Amino acid sequence: MAKPRILLTRKWPKQVEQHLAKRYDVTGNPSDQPMDSTQLKAALRSFDAVLPTVTDKLDDAVFDQGNMQVKILANYGVGFAHIDSDAAKNNNIVVTNTPEILSECTADIAMTLMLMVARRAGEGERQLRAGAWQGWHPTHMIGSKVSGKTLGIIGFGRIGQEMARRAHFGFGMKILVQNRSTIDPEILSEYGATQLESVDDFLPLCDFVSLHCPGGSANRHLINRQRLDLMKPTAFLINTARGEVIDDSALAKALKQKDIAGAGLDVFEREPDINQDLAGIENLVMLPHLGSSTAETRIGMGLRVADNLDAFFDGCEPKDRVV
């Protein structure tokens, strides 16, 4: 029987591409440029499986065509808000993602941002590299203590829980949780965490707020001007979830006016384009979407996609089916 034809929309770790080639007729993307909607439409017409990433905007218009060959979109990543789930479902296309495997590394990046912004590590490094450091003195670049403070986590899924584990056991932080559904009290007690009903009641209590909820229209601008106003002026906002969860123009204003103390961002609404309102703000640390970017995790994510594909083409239910 002919091997199923699969398309990798970006370059993947070599080991994973080799692993996939054993069972599939693999087409890669050696240029590694993001695909536009014309290329994505053509891909849905000609491949049995398409393996997209966050840079592929699979919206309704891309699915709006006849003669689709594709049967599964095996996403490389846990977040899949870039895929129109209703359109996939209406076209009988299965969608899978890669949960669990990237939770630890994404939480590590959220911790990195939290520590960097609170301890002014970005500012300090810029000062030193610019040759502007004038030596130690008692009032030099004073930051905020992290240990023992209150961390509010919005979205208490696997990544949110890994963040809680690090913050609570590593830094003695008190954990508050905001989540759409009720979290099992046994899970909360594992991290000494307390769940609060509304975001508006929760924000004024936090010294740090870390976002771990899904992106997409449901959570677009969840953190807006009004919600930034509810945060303490000494508090910090961390985002490793999706850019659209924050209104970044409102955030830029809040940072400039010192309505909050600082922010750490790994994700952006129109990445890789950055809202120019954010440029030059000192109490802001920005990373280029590095959450899952370790060798172990990126290989693990690829092998997880392979497992999902194997199950699908064996006629079984893929473990990580989301649509």
When asked if residue 302 is in the footprint of ligand 8YV (CB under 6 A), the reply is: no
CB atoms within 10 A of CB 248: 22
Distant-in-sequence, close-in-space partners of 66: CB < 8 Å, separation ≥ 6: none
Binding of ligand 8YV by 103 (CB under 6 A): no
Separation between Cα atoms, residue 283 and residue 81, nearest integer Å: 29
φ/ψ (deg, to 5) at 140: -75, 125
Using the minimum distance from each CB to ligand 8YV, give the nearer residue, 106 or 178. 106
Which residue lies nearer to ligand 8YV by CB, 101 or 223?
A: 101
Determine whether 242 is an active site residue.
yes
Tell me how crowded residue 257 is: count the other CB atoms within 10 A of its CB: 10
The answer to whether 295 touches 13, Cβ cutoff 8 Å, is yes
Q: Does 79 bind ligand 8YV (CB under 6 A)?
A: yes
Q: Where are the alpha helices (DSSP H) in 119-268?
A: 121-129, 158-165, 171, 185-190, 199-202, 225-230, 248-256
Conformation bin of residue 275: beta by default, left when phi > 0, alpha when psi is -120 to 50: beta
Active site residue 271: yes
Nearer to ligand 8YV, 54 or 177 (CB): 54
For the purposes of burial, counting CB atoms within 10 Å of the CB of 291, is it exposed (0-12), middle (13-18) or buried (19 or more)? Answer: buried
Determine which residue in the list 43, 49, 74, 78 makes contact with ligand 8YV, applying CB under 6 A.
78
Using CB under 6 A, which of 6, 40, 54, 117 touches ligand 8YV? Answer: 54
Which residue is closest to ligand 8YV by CB?
77
Beta carbon of residue 160, minimum distance to ligand 8YV (angstroms, whole number): 13
Show the site string, 269-298: x = touches ligand 8YV by CB under 6 A, - = not: ----------------------xx------
Q: Residue 8: which of 77, 60, 67, 63 has the closest Cα?
A: 77
Pick the binder of ligand 8YV from 76, 156, 208, 268 (CB under 6 A).
76
Q: Could you confirm whether 125 is annotated as catalytic?
A: no
Residue 96 makes contact with ligand 8YV by CB under 6 A: no
Q: Which is nearer to ligand 8YV, 102 or 238 (CB)?
A: 102
Contacts of 141 (CB under 8 A, 6+ apart): 120, 123, 124, 127
CB of 301 to ligand 8YV, least distance (A): 7
Alpha carbons 267 and 55: distance in angstroms, whole number: 12
Residue whose pair of structure tokens reads 């601008």 in the numeric block = 221
- Which two structure tokens, joined as six digits, stand for 26? 């693999």
Of 196-255, binders to ligand 8YV (CB under 6 A) are none
Q: Exactly one of 77, 300, 302, 318 binds ligand 8YV (CB under 6 A); which one?
A: 77
Is residue 223 within 8 A of residue 237, CB to CB? The reply is yes
Q: Which is nearer to ligand 8YV, 163 or 176 (CB)?
A: 163
- Of 74-82, 121-129, 183-191, 193-201, the segment contacting ligand 8YV by CB under 6 A is 74-82
Alpha-carbon distance values, 93 to 3, 145, 230, 307, 322 (Å) = 19, 49, 42, 17, 11
Query: Does the protein bind ligand 8YV through residue 102 (CB under 6 A)?
Result: yes
Question: Catalytic: which of 5, 100, 271, 321?
Answer: 271
Which segment (12-20, 72-80, 277-285, 304-312) binds ligand 8YV by CB under 6 A?
A: 72-80
Q: What is the contact surface with ligand 8YV in residues (CB under 6 A)? A: 53-54, 76-79, 102, 106, 291-292
User: Which active-site residues does the annotation give?
Assistant: 242, 271, 289
